Amino acid sequence: MNTLVNELDKKTEQKLEEVTIRFKRFNKEKKDSSYFESFKVKVQPGMSVLDAILKVRDEQDESITLRYSCRSARCGSCAMRINNRPMLACYTQAGKVVDSNGVINVSPMGNMKAEKDLVVNMDKPFWEAIQRTRSVLVNKAQRKHKMSQKNAEKIRHLTGCIMCGVCYSDCTAKTEDEEFIGPSAIASALRFSKDERDDYGKTRLKVIQEEPGTYIECAQCSLCSYYCPKEVDPAEAVEDTRIQASTYGINYRAPPVNMTISSNAVTTGNIYGESQETREDAIPKEVRENVVVETSNNGEFGYFAGCIQALTFTNVPENVARIFKESGKKMVYFGKDEYCCGFPMIMSGQMEQAKKVMLRNIKVFNEKKVKKLITTCSKCWWVLGTIYKKLAKENNIDYDLEITTVTDFSYQMKKEGKLKFKKPIDAKITYHDPCHLVREKGEVNEPRELINAIDKTKIVEMNHSEKDGMCCGTPTMGLRDPEMLEKIQSKRWNEIEETTADIMATSCGPCQVAFAMGNKKRKSPVRIVDLTDIIIEGLGFTPKDAKGRELMEARLELMEGLREMYSKMTPKQQDKTIEDTFDLKVKNDNP
């Protein structure tokens, strides 16, 4: 992944003589002591934000308090938010982060309580979490100092963690649950479990999973990996931990509703437990003509719709077919042969179940001779691109597919002059960047340029946008704890409303479901639509998103009912219900 530090390295440094550092001041000792204070300071080329802060402190206000020591990104002391992003002050050049007014904003990291100015309390949220992971090499055999180069290189990046806390500052799961062990701790545990000198791998994973705040809670939003100054890539570490746990046969017991969804997906092929035939209805016959083909002969795209799109937001598959038609391209629609991508199972720790559907899907892709896949869901894109590749490699299966999105496809078609927008849309639109698409795929300009290309649209950006975009909180979280989802999403809703946009567009079904869940009580008037709706409207068609939304409401009610049903049961009854349905149906299923 291209990290923030990498991106800043490529940026040219502004030549400055003076900057204004705007501090968020705070002192736990005094009441109402949170305020902003600005200081002007002379800077030289190459000067770090830390140097500038220390200069302000030494020359202007000695009470400014922060942690710092090595000033070369090794000790991990000086993590703070710089212009709202968690970074190491010593490793960030002032001339690269100064805004057009010559200002650099500095504030303490998030998810940890501020003590004084830029100093936060890391004891419980960070250090205790690190200790909980039992990160110590257990070398019972005292092997004779042998380790392969290959193994060393596999974990080298994980051992580069300097425990600065940057990955905790804006972590979505940490916001949801302060017990969550967090990215750095997971990376640290994985580092040992992957070490061939270690004898404790399985037990370590089992132990950390039995404690509160286990890795399952990670929303896979990848903000940690984007901000990590040492390229540890904790998000990938969580991915690997999920896979590693499954190879050890450790299955996590997720909350009942999440388990039901996983079980549905394995047994029926979709998360709702409905007939797979329903998937065929998503694209009406008249739209299919001259677009949908049975198998790919000329390297046509395969369209992997995803459960939410194929069964709820059916406007999306229809939109996709129209976009293909307008572009003069053909595609394979998997319809009833498409199984859930595996995401819900992965997220609730049922990796073995996930593997079943994944292998089945790979078989279908091969049968239909598809080499390129179009997705309309951020999660599908991630699972098909990342987890499938890891899985295929592990099982020696040929899987060399290009995974892309309908957004990317539309953008290319527009660039080639094949898609032409005809109808203006007179609206203020803000765009919510789905986590995987923006940070891992790097899809920043494509959606914005598409919206901009339509006459009369006006894009307004949220406070956290593009690669700094906040996570929706995920429907997985919403199913587990609706109130918590509302709580963490309220920040995002505030940002949406601050833009005064009429419409918020996004390119991911689960994001839209999560926002519907989080808006249940809030009732914000901002309309949430799929980006494809805007595209086809620009192309002169009328989107049928209302139908999708109705379906979603009904399904959410169903889930709520299910959740209530489980909540009335004792944990034992819950277990029995799940085990009964789970085991029975899993046995019957033979993908």
Partner 1 sequence: MNENPEEKSFDALIVGGGLAGARAAVELIKLSPKSKIALISKLHPLRSHSVAASGGINAAINEKDSWKDHAFETIKGSDYLADQDAAEFMCKHAKETVFEMENWGAMFSRTEKKDIAQRPFGGMKFPRTNFAGDTTGLTLLHSIWQQLFSMGLKVFDEWIVTSLIVKNNNCFGVNAIDLKTGKMHIFHSTATVFATGGYGRVFLKTTTSHSTTGDGTAIAFRAGVNLKDMEMIQFHPTGLYHSNVLISEAARGEGGILLNSKNERFMEKYAPNYKDLASRDVVSRAIMTEINEGRGVGSKKDHVMLQVSHLSKETLEEKLFETLSLAKKFEGVDATKNSIPVAPACHYTMGGIDNISFGGKTNINGFFAVGECGCISVHGANRLGGNSLLSTIVFGKVCGKEVFEYIKKNKKIPLPKEVVKESRQKIEELLKKDLKGYQKPAAVLEKIQTIMTEHFGVYRNELQMQKGLKELEKLKEHVKKIGVKDKGKIFNSNLIHALEVINIFDLALVIANSAIKRKESRGAHTREDFPKRDDENFLKHSIAKIEGKEVLVNFRDVKNIGYKPMERHY
For the bound state, the minimum distance from the C-beta of residue 177 to partner 1, rounded and expressed in Å, comes to: 23
| Residue 173 vs 185, nearer CB to partner 1 | 185
Residue type, 528: I
For the bound state, the minimum distance from the C-beta of residue 147 to partner 1, rounded and expressed in Å, comes to: 6
In 3D space, the residue among 91, 90, 117, 106 whose CA is nearest the CA of residue 19 turns out to be 106
Task: Tell me if residue 437 falls in helix, strand or coil.
Answer: helix
Alpha-carbon distance of 352 to 355, in angstroms, equals: 5
Residue type, 120: V
For the bound state, the minimum distance from the C-beta of residue 29 to partner 1, rounded and expressed in Å, comes to: 6
| Residue 21 vs 451, nearer CB to partner 1 | 21
Chain-centroid distance of CA 217 in Å reads 12
| Residue 57 vs 432, nearer CB to partner 1 | 57
For the bound state, the minimum distance from the C-beta of residue 11 to partner 1, rounded and expressed in Å, comes to: 11
Structure tokens at 92: 């960030």
Binding site for partner 1 (CB under 8 A): 9, 13, 27-29, 44-46, 48, 57-59, 62-63, 65-77, 91, 93, 115-116, 119, 122, 127, 130-131, 134-137, 139, 142, 145-149, 152, 155-156, 159-160, 162-163, 192, 195, 197-198
Alpha-carbon distance of 310 to 323, in angstroms, equals: 16
For the bound state, the minimum distance from the C-beta of residue 263 to partner 1, rounded and expressed in Å, comes to: 39
| Residue 58 vs 426, nearer CB to partner 1 | 58
CB 220 within 8 A of CB 197: no
CB 472 within 8 A of CB 511: yes
| Residue 79 vs 517, nearer CB to partner 1 | 79
Structure tokens at 554: 């009904």
**Alpha-carbon dihedral angle through residues 45, 51, 57, 59, given to the nearest 10 degrees:** -40
For the bound state, the minimum distance from the C-beta of residue 452 to partner 1, rounded and expressed in Å, comes to: 34
Alpha-carbon distance of 191 to 575, in angstroms, equals: 33
Q: DSSP letter string over 268-313?
A: HSSTT---GGGGGGGS-HHHHTTTEESS-SS-PEEEE--HHHHHT-
| Residue 155 vs 501, nearer CB to partner 1 | 155
| Residue 56 vs 323, nearer CB to partner 1 | 56
| Residue 111 vs 532, nearer CB to partner 1 | 111
For the bound state, the minimum distance from the C-beta of residue 248 to partner 1, rounded and expressed in Å, comes to: 20
Structure tokens at 527: 């309309």
Direct distance between the N- and C-terminal alpha carbons of the chain, in angstroms, rounded to an integer? 33
For the bound state, the minimum distance from the C-beta of residue 48 to partner 1, rounded and expressed in Å, comes to: 8
DSSP state of 197: T
| Residue 229 vs 543, nearer CB to partner 1 | 229
**Helical pair 256-268 and 351-367, crossing angle rounded to 10 deg:** 30
| Residue 25 vs 242, nearer CB to partner 1 | 25
CB 24 within 8 A of CB 64: no
For the bound state, the minimum distance from the C-beta of residue 188 to partner 1, rounded and expressed in Å, comes to: 9
Helices (H), 405-481: 406-415, 435, 445-452, 475-480
Q: In the chain, what's the furthest Cα-to-Cα distance?
A: 74
For the bound state, the minimum distance from the C-beta of residue 226 to partner 1, rounded and expressed in Å, comes to: 17
